[in-house]
Structure 1
């Protein structure tokens, strides 16, 4: 998957998460459920980024931090 496609997916996933958080602010009775769904979309965005960078030869900051800690 190309870099642009990955970034577009991440942008979309984070936009959806933001909409869930905004909706939670206006629906207190459903806020826990909506915030949980927002968290799920944020995890999807992170998973998308991780899958892209794990397949890449470039070291990411997280990998560098792990290497330094070891």
Structure 2
């Protein structure tokens, strides 16, 4: 059972769409508060797309976390 306290306040669909459209620039990571890795993704263009693809899959499956370690989940 999922603990509601472990859920991020960040919106799942916003995170997913930011990753899909602007993932190579790390925008989804800036959105969830992961500024350091967001800068790394910006510099490496999402590690040539591989890192972005992994993030997209993690977000879609509900395993992506925000800067506080809380999972960004689909409530729909």
TM-score norm. by structure 2 comes to 0.35
TM-score, normalised by the number of residues in structure 1 = 0.37
Larger radius of gyration: 1
